Structure 1
Amino acid sequence: MTDMTVKTPWHLWAVGVIALLWNAYGGYDYTMSMTQGAAYLASAGMTPDQIAYYEAMPVWMTAIWAIGVWGGVLGSLLLLLRNKLAFPVFAVSFGAFLFSLLYTYGLSDGGKVMGFMMQDGVKVASSMIIIVNVVIAAGCAFFTRYAWMMAKGGVLR
């Protein structure tokens, strides 16, 4: 039996550190939202209606948010540790983010509160919230795919 070790590419460290910093901000935002509540949300520029929406969010949705945020942090750490569990953890985190979008824009009135507007009788999201959600989704998709490629290539063990 031969012992073949795969050399860790330099970009794993770069992507891992960027992923950790990216997801650490999500962890900071989640922690501040949970501990400082309305004061933090107001300081972040949220309107009273948006704050009320967040405060009325069901516990199960807060759990989905936590899974998304802390899954991203854990996935980043696992990537840096070259652990193959980074891929499924990132995938679950990405899924939680996508479900939170479904909840906000499809299962609740969050779209109206968080940035939907009426245009010619059609409900459309404001451009800023679209940009923010696309950027977050792209980051989640990138980190998930990157971890999958590193696991498939034998870099993650």
Structure 2
Amino acid sequence: MNPSTTKQKAPKWFIALAVFLLVWNLMGVLAFINQISMGTEEVALLPEDQQALYANYPTWALIAFAMAVGGGFLGSLLLLLKNKWAKTLFILSLVGIVVQMTHSLFIAKATEVYGPGAAIMPVMVLVIGVFCIYIAQRAIQKKWIA
């Protein structure tokens, strides 16, 4: 066996972090499912300005949302399974995050509807998305995943 490709035992904090990231990204998947499953009755209960956001949500932004949460969830699962493809999926997720947040913050101007606090979650999602790539790269370098 080649020593340069031998996996090293991952520290316990790494496993705990991978579980946290899996749960975090599962919440994103649930938010996506909630958004795509909202019927006209539920949308009609929203304030008018929020209804307009839903009515004008383009397909490309929805695809970006799916990429963001799907890539993040699968990347976290692969990180937990100690598979190096986690990094690739995290990169895909980050692309989705950037596209979706660009739409939300700059095109749809969601902060005009939800207020300036609406920017907090997108920034947090972006930071965690970048962190996921960092931790996957570090795990590859430390040979915790292969």
Q: TM-score, normalised by structure 2?
A: 0.84
Assess, with a 3 A threshold, how the Cα gap between structure 1 residues 110 and 32 changes in structure 2: closer, same or farther.
same
Partner of 2:54: 54
Q: CA deviation at 1:81?
A: 0.7
Q: Show structure 2 runs of 5+ residues with no match.
A: none
State whether residues 94 and 140 of structure 1, in contact with CA within 8 Å, keep that contact through their aligned partners in structure 2: yes
State whether residues 50 and 113 of structure 2, in contact with CA within 8 Å, keep that contact through their aligned partners in structure 1: yes
State whether residues 62 and 100 of structure 2, in contact with CA within 8 Å, keep that contact through their aligned partners in structure 1: no
Assess, with a 3 A threshold, how the Cα gap between structure 1 residues 131 and 42 changes in structure 2: closer, same or farther.
farther
Partner of 2:90: 90
Partner of 1:143: 132
* Larger helix percent: 2
SS of match in other structure, 1:67: helix
Distance 2:133 2:39 in 1: 30
Distance 1:83 1:36 in 2: 35
Distance 2:96 2:106 in 1: 15
Distance 1:141 1:98 in 2: 11
Matches within 5 A, 1:22-41: 22-37=24-39
Q: CA deviation at 1:15?
A: 0.9
Count of residues in Structure 1 that have an aligned counterpart in Structure 2: 144
Instruction: Give the residue type in structure 2 aligned to 1:154.
Output: K
* Larger strand percent: 1
State whether residues 84 and 156 of structure 1, in contact with CA within 8 Å, keep that contact through their aligned partners in structure 2: yes
Please state if 1:8 is matched with 2:10: yes
Give the superposed CA RMSD. Answer: 2.3
Q: Show structure 1 runs of 5+ residues with no match.
A: 116-125
Assess, with a 3 A threshold, how the Cα gap between structure 1 residues 100 and 35 changes in structure 2: closer, same or farther.
same
Distance 1:95 1:143 in 2: 13
Q: CA deviation at 1:135?
A: 1.7
Q: CA deviation at 1:38?
A: 5.4
Distance 1:114 1:75 in 2: 30
Instruction: Give the residue type in structure 2 aligned to 1:24.
Output: L
SS of match in other structure, 1:83: coil
State whether residues 111 and 118 of structure 2, in contact with CA within 8 Å, keep that contact through their aligned partners in structure 1: no
- Percent of paired sites with the same residue: 28
